[in-house]
Amino acid sequence: MNQDSLQINSSGQLRHFLSISGLNRQILNDILDTAESFAGVTAQSVKKVPLLRGKTIVNLFFEASTRTRTTFELAAKRLSADVLNINITQSSATKGETLLDTLRNLEAMHVDMFIVRHADSGAAHFIASNVATHTRVINAGDGRHSHPTQAMLDMFTIRRIKGPDFGRLRVAIVGDILHSRVARSQIHALNLLNTGEVRIVAPRTLLPAHAESLGAHVFHNLQEGIRDVDVIIMLRLQHERMQGALLPSEHEYFELFGLTEEKLAFASPEVTVMHPGPINRGVEMDSEVADGPRSVILEQVTHGIAVRMAVMSMAMSSKNTIAG
Amino acid sequence: MPAANEQQRIRISGGRVIDPASGVDSIQDMYVAAGRIVSMGQAPDGFTSDREIDASGQVVCPGLIDLCARLREPGQEHKATIASESLAAASGGVTTLCCPPDTHPVIDTPAVTEFIRLRAEAAGKARIVTLGALTQGLGGEQLSEMAALRKAGCVGVSNAMQPLRNPLVQRRALEYAATHGLTVFLYPNDHWLANSGCAHEGRVATRLGLPGIPEAAETTAVAGDLALIEQTGVRAHFCRLTTGRAVQMVARAQFDRAPVTADVAIPYLYLSEVDISDFDSRCHLLPPLRTVEDRQRLRDALQQGTLSAICSDHQPHEPDAKLRPFPATEPGISGLDSLLPLSLQLVDEQAIELGDLIHRLTAGPATILGLPFGTLAVGAIADICIFHPELTWQLDTGTIQSRGHNTPFMGREFKGRVTHTLLAGNMVYSLGGAN
């Protein structure tokens, strides 16, 4: 079954949230609007709403994560759901149980929603294709493919700061595009929201084949790539990229692609700097920038809770009818 | 082959006999006795048949020869067995199957070759020939005992999908194979460039975030192989080319009279990178499905003859092998059942003439293997495929004969169906009937 009809039911509602690709602008805006209404809740002293009371949500993480797992857990708890965290890296997978067996066993416990992170691209799609019709799946990152809630919290952050008209905006995504599920989802989301210009900035070794086909202008020079942009999204550079001949050294990478106050001057004076975290200070970004007035990195984390509450409540309240 | 019915005398009447090897394409009767074709047109003096096959409206051609079929035995009998896949071959009109050496254990000793031969004979549905390992255990370091393998019946040598340690080992292996007059079957896929990718490095893999295998994984391997083929003078065959560029390199080498041939596997003539768009693990192949342009260039090269054989690249799997996230699934399609009908579709699509197509399925691969099959000449071994070109049928769990149901063509309506298969004069398959 294709990704579109897996994610959307016959009434056009969100059933599973697997990737940005396959969704439409209306749904993206619905997510952002719903998140806006939850953002108020998360700021109150009593931070709970009873929307998912009695529902069981499983955080099924096959890859280590702190930020994403924690914000999903908080989001679920603020919706009054029961949450179970399962770390498969230290569980059944190491005993040889297949993904499908793990899933069947958990389903037998009447789980209503799975939040899934997995190292293989397509894992969330695979799980969504194999769960019972009443069960919902939210992708918390699959391989290099997709990390849609991260992209939506970034869109939420941009919209809050820059306003709802993305058409006026130039956005540059800088760093390891090749291995980044975050970048893929961001590019899709920015394009669906009609962003004026989407740029990606990286050395050739960190770009996928036909990178421009993702829907972005490609730059190999940071200063040119961020010239006059309104938003810069820096991506995390994994330490292991230094092996495998992708880059000569962190030092040279920082020289060329690291964001400093000096280089920031090439961007629009109103530029906003974002990063999905965790930051490697002194590799992709100077501390001065990360902690400076242009940075909204901590707001992103806060917004993550509201956006995840939005996606979970929308998916859970959608009908079970499967689109043809 | 079983001797029980070898004395059976068969008249195949009224069929359109197409035998590219002898340039025949006409409606005539054919007479089989003692496992061989004894006459065409006129019955031999005093011929009385034990069996009559009415082939009117049907095509009579040599039994198909499949250059690459994994039978999963020995070693992976949970996927398929020689018996199960021989049956699939027979029902698909295939009379000779070539099994690559990557069985478990590897075909690097005469004992494994002998085991496969005995199992094939016991099954009695298809002739199975083997490729011996180029290096011991396919480890890429120590040469195998090629002379012994040849004596045991291996029709060539190959390191299958496994890499050789370095070009020096490769040079020596090719030289040693040439010493024994063995054809080397090369699977061009640079191990380092492929870098555990699972999809063609192109637009689709970029969008899906799947680790890519670049075109250069194939072209650099072919370039290196061609240089060493020229250096050593070994006769070489490129298995399963997937890129237009590699095909072009082979065409140039053939023009320069290098002793090289090449084949294509049927899925690559129909599918492309686009087919993995929804993480469809049934289309997870190794080497990966390439671009739509590559597919067209493969079709062109097949028509022109640069690619002189179509193989099934049959890789049956148990269902679990495909029930995982895409990168974790096992590559390969179960292809024996659809080899002929899919190939015939190429004729419908005017990609190739019927006679040329049958050549690529019979005489073409026979020449590559150096075997005397793939012809209906009088005196030849009676390996015969009779198919009805207009009969439509559906490939589904009821009709598929292979134990592996892993094919994206499941549910597909096909035109053209095998009605009878004869192996050395024995009826090993007849549609809807007992033999």
Convert the pLDDT of each residue in A123-147 to its tens digit.
Answer: 999 999 999 989 999 999 999 999 9
Summarize the confidence of residues B383-397 as an average pLDDT: 97
Residue type, B250: V
A320 touches chain B (CB under 8 A): no
Q: Quick check: B38 and B47 in contact, CB under 8 A?
A: yes
The helix/strand/coil state of A295 is strand
Summarize the confidence of residues B282-307 as an average pLDDT: 98
pLDDT of B258 strictly over 60: yes
Residue type, B358: I
Mean pLDDT of chain B: 96
Among the listed ranges A23-32, A96-105, A296-305, which one has the minimum average pLDDT value? A96-105
- Of B32, B133, B86, B137, give the one whose Cα is nearest residue B386: B32
Check residues B62 and B5 and name the one with the higher pLDDT.
B62
The two structure tokens encoding residue B421: 């298969």
CA R_g for chain A:
19
Length of chain A as a residue count? 324
The two structure tokens encoding residue B209: 């975030």
The helix/strand/coil state of B432 is coil
Instruction: State the ipTM, two decimals.
Output: 0.93
- Of B66, B195, B228, give the one whose Cα is nearest residue B131: B66
pLDDT of A323 strictly over 70: no
Residue environment code for B188-220, b if the CB has 16+ CB neighbours within 10 A, otherwise e:
bbbeebbeebbbbbbbbbbbbbbbbbbbbbbbb
Q: Of B202, B210, B323, which is closest to A121 when you measure between CB atoms?
A: B210
Check residues B118 and A49 and name the one with the higher pLDDT.
B118
- With residue B176 as reference, give the H or E element that holds it: helix B167-179
In tens, the pLDDT along A301-316 reads 999 999 999 999 999 9
- pLDDT number for residue B1: 47
pTM: 0.94
Alpha-carbon distance A43 to nearest alpha carbon in chain B (angstroms): 36
Domains for chain A: give ranges and CATH numbers: 3-146+302-317 (3.40.50.1370), 148-296 (3.40.50.1370)
Q: Of B201, B277, B328, which is closest to A120 when you measure between CB atoms?
A: B328
CA dihedral defined by A205, A208, A213, A219, rounded to 10 degrees?
A: -20
Q: Taking phi first (over 0 means left), then psi (-120 to 50 degrees means alpha), and beta for anything else, what does residue B109 get?
A: beta
A98 touches chain B (CB under 8 A): yes
| Side-by-side strand order, sheet with B51-54 | B36-40, B30-33, B10-13, B51-54
| Side-by-side strand order, sheet with A113-118 | A82-87, A56-61, A113-118, A136-142
B398 touches chain A (CB under 8 A): no
Whole-angstrom distance, CA of residue A127 vs CA of residue A130: 5
Where are the extended beta strands (E) located within chain A? 56-61, 82-87, 113-118, 136-142, 170-174, 197-201, 217-219, 231-234, 272-274
Alpha-carbon distance A120 to nearest alpha carbon in chain B (angstroms): 6
Q: Do B325 and A123 touch (CB under 8 A)?
A: yes
A120 touches chain B (CB under 8 A): yes
Kindly report the backbone phi and psi dihedral angles of residue B220, in degrees, each rounded to the nearest multiple of 5, phi listed first.
-65, -35
User: Residue B435: which pLDDT band, with cuts at 50, 70 and 90?
Assistant: very low
Q: Quick check: B158 and B100 in contact, CB under 8 A?
A: yes
In tens, the pLDDT along B262-279 reads 999 999 999 999 999 999
| Percent over 70 (pLDDT), chain A | 96
pLDDT of B256 strictly over 80: yes
Hey, how many other C-beta atoms are within 10 angstroms of the C-beta on B265? 27
The two structure tokens encoding residue B101: 């050496």
User: Residue B2: which pLDDT band, with cuts at 50, 70 and 90?
Assistant: very low
- pLDDT number for residue A238: 81
- With residue B31 as reference, give the H or E element that holds it: strand B30-33
Summarize the confidence of residues B49-57 as an average pLDDT: 95
pLDDT of B345 strictly over 80: yes
B323 touches chain A (CB under 8 A): yes
Q: In terms of DSSP bridges, do strands B10-13 and B30-33 run parallel, antiparallel, or are they unpaired?
A: antiparallel
Whole-angstrom distance, CA of residue B95 vs CA of residue B159: 24
Q: Of A100, A121, A184, which is closest to B327 when you measure between CB atoms?
A: A121
Report residue B377 CA to chain centroid gap.
22
Give chain B positions within 8 Å (CB) of A100: 320, 323-324
Q: Quick check: B246 and B218 in contact, CB under 8 A?
A: yes
Question: What distance separates the 2 farthest-apart alpha carbons in chain B?
Answer: 70
Whole-angstrom distance, CA of residue A197 vs CA of residue A230: 10
Q: Do B209 and A143 touch (CB under 8 A)?
A: yes
Among the listed ranges A164-168, A196-200, A273-277, B4-8, which one has the minimum average pLDDT value? B4-8
User: Among A126, A182, A184, which would you mutate to test the B interface (most chain B Cβ atoms within 10 Å of its Cβ)?
Assistant: A126
Give chain B positions within 8 Å (CB) of A123: 325
User: Residue B223: which pLDDT band, with cuts at 50, 70 and 90?
Assistant: very high
- pLDDT number for residue A321: 75
User: Residue A96: which pLDDT band, with cuts at 50, 70 and 90?
Assistant: low
- pLDDT number for residue A98: 81
CA angle A292, A293, A297 (to 5 degrees): 70
User: First and final CA of chain A: distance in angstroms?
Assistant: 9
Summarize the confidence of residues B352-378 as an average pLDDT: 98
Summarize the confidence of residues A262-266 as an average pLDDT: 96
- pLDDT number for residue B432: 82
pLDDT of A90 strictly over 90: no
A216 touches chain B (CB under 8 A): no
Q: Give start and end residues of each alpha helix (H) in A233-290.
A: 250-257, 261-264, 287-290
Residue of B nearest to A19 (CA): B208
Domains for chain B: give ranges and CATH numbers: 10-60+380-430 (2.30.40.10), 64-369 (3.20.20.140)
Whole-angstrom distance, CA of residue B331 vs CA of residue A210: 24
Q: Quick check: A209 and B212 in contact, CB under 8 A?
A: yes
Whole-angstrom distance, CA of residue A20 vs CA of residue A152: 9
User: Residue A91: which pLDDT band, with cuts at 50, 70 and 90?
Assistant: low
In DSSP terms, B388 is beta-bridged to B417
Give chain A positions within 8 Å (CB) of B326: 120-122, 126
- pLDDT number for residue A3: 53
- pLDDT number for residue A83: 96
The conformation of residue B324, written as its DSSP 8-state character, comes to S
Residue of A nearest to B328 (CA): A120
Q: Quick check: A150 and A158 in contact, CB under 8 A?
A: no
Residue type, B353: E
Among the listed ranges A11-15, A100-104, A217-221, B143-147, which one has the minimum average pLDDT value? A100-104
CA R_g for chain B:
21
* Catalytic positions of B: 313
What is the residue-wise DSSP string for B114-171?
HHHHHHHHHH-SSEEEEEEESBGGG-SSSBP-HHHHHHTT--EEE-TTPPPS-HHHHH
Question: Which residue is listed with tokens 């009434």?
Answer: A11
Q: How far is CA B78 from CA B4, B216, B237, B320, in A?
A: 31, 35, 30, 11
